[in-house]
Structure 1
């Protein structure tokens, strides 16, 4: 398959997307019997607190990650408007839309607005995410632009019919990964794995319930890379439904298995008092990195009716312990300078819209070679894995041509000092060279 054909398929086929719903309106059209639900998603660069003293610089919809929770009913007509207030191209892929969406809401330039309409005719728990097109779909999703949409079915789930009541608590739970750089993203090595935007969020603030409560989990594994096994310690599910569709009933079970963008509705009655952990049972790669929560069940507890998947908007620490910037330069404990000696070969990869390593220290007279490891080098701009190099500050100013996959550019640096540089095609992509 040629790369131009691959690029067209990737752009047109995979650019599909998406507390109470944010920026939504519901109305009955005078000419239709169906309900119309409207949402607005605003694409922007945002800095968020994701752990105590830890901040993340990335992309978001509406300033949170996960983005707003979109709730509709089977049969609703849905209208989603995407506004791009950022400086780079964004877009939208909404998995709940069983229609062509790339021509409507992909490739959205800075300052532009586009709208998608569709009928939510298949119930389930769906992911939505940014989709500029092509290479940008992968990197912007990694950068934090994702959320959950639920299409509630007309048909009742089995436990609801058996008990004759709706769930006592609805828990909308998005599991997702945080990467400190594009190389780790490509290699599937996340720094953190979280529920709803914050490491150990529901350990710090357990979800309160009562023994015998009927809890429904709307569980989505955003990924974007790892497979999860979602499990409640001390509990066995009553029923689980792959993709959140009541037609897909499974009885019992200790866990549910999900790849990236897979989802479940899980109905469970809390069997007794006491704390119940819920985890991704991939313990070392996920639970230990933040994917753990607690159901705290006590008699007569004041429990919430809804736990939303939307991420937190906490005040930023004045002196953060750690800065995670997957595309630029974060704090030194994350983006450590790599020291080279005279005669060492120095290669800097361009991968996942970041430089690897982001910071190098070299002696005067060292030759540095950049190599583009991003494979998706069709399309243009934000949608492409093409890269280039331009020095923005330093003793010598230089720039490269546009580099396709496996292309190289090299330069010998003969003057000492600190060189700051970017990829002009992806200007948030930053690197540094210290010449001594």
Structure 2
């Protein structure tokens, strides 16, 4: 890994420019639980990293720790990336070692070099050399953590991805916010005195669709995070809600009540070619595209809200959930194997996952008022909104339920999360 993601830099630059509109304080993360087979990793302090705006090794450690997949071993500061004494680190219990250096160029950029070593096989696993402007220091650290995660687990890391969510103040002020996956670097994309709901990332990570009530009714917009331009996608008679992108990025599914009761439609990303794809006497809403192009959605056609599946262009719908009388908010993992949803059991609204091949389900949360699940792009974690102590916050749980995080903020209620894609 010798080059960095240019699109991620462009989007980060664009959202950083939004800071002038007013950014809120970053979120605090509480972590509980660990993975079933933690990999012991020593992360050394990077040589001369104190000259950078943020301590790169500390960000890497925080990323790896909150994943629950690693057991971190203190390594102090290592000034040289050559002549590694593998035996010493293996004796300390580390199966892998992360080392690096930081230097400042004459142009003011920070040059970061990193290497990952396998202490068991006594070999170098990966390296990175990158020069970046100061504002991209955190992104560089997240990219290194992604590389460590990939090389040691075989699964692509999601630390450098972005999330979007809504923050509400006193039911009078609303903000659509974009942040790093760890909640840091929070920047405002939209502020309104009317509710903002249902944000959804485009597959390329450059746009967010959402519903705004600024016209005193729900209208679906798409906002370009780079140019800040907004496009009205659905402003039909009645309710316009629940936008979600198809994986192709050229269309969205929306829920409209223009014909009397809420049904699912597809619409081009420019707002054209509106087409109805669901057809029931009940309410069909909360569509989500699976990787194969099919649509999972919520419908009350059987009497209560349940989750169904249909082809992307409509047709016969097949019921997916059968346990419980209230199942909503379907979200499908990137590999198409797992369904996340909210189920009401014994009066509690909780996060569940289902193995779509076997139909076996598992409850992942212990709270009582969960909403809006969203998969990480690697399918290993789910972010959702929850409530405790009268405050709304975000939570993250691993798909096996072992690792849990709570993201809280000092001011306002945070809700309606959506996890952004990998930046190609």
TM range, smaller chain: under 0.3
* TM-score, structure 1 as length reference: 0.23
Pick the structure with greater CA Rg. Answer: 1
* TM-score, structure 2 as length reference: 0.24
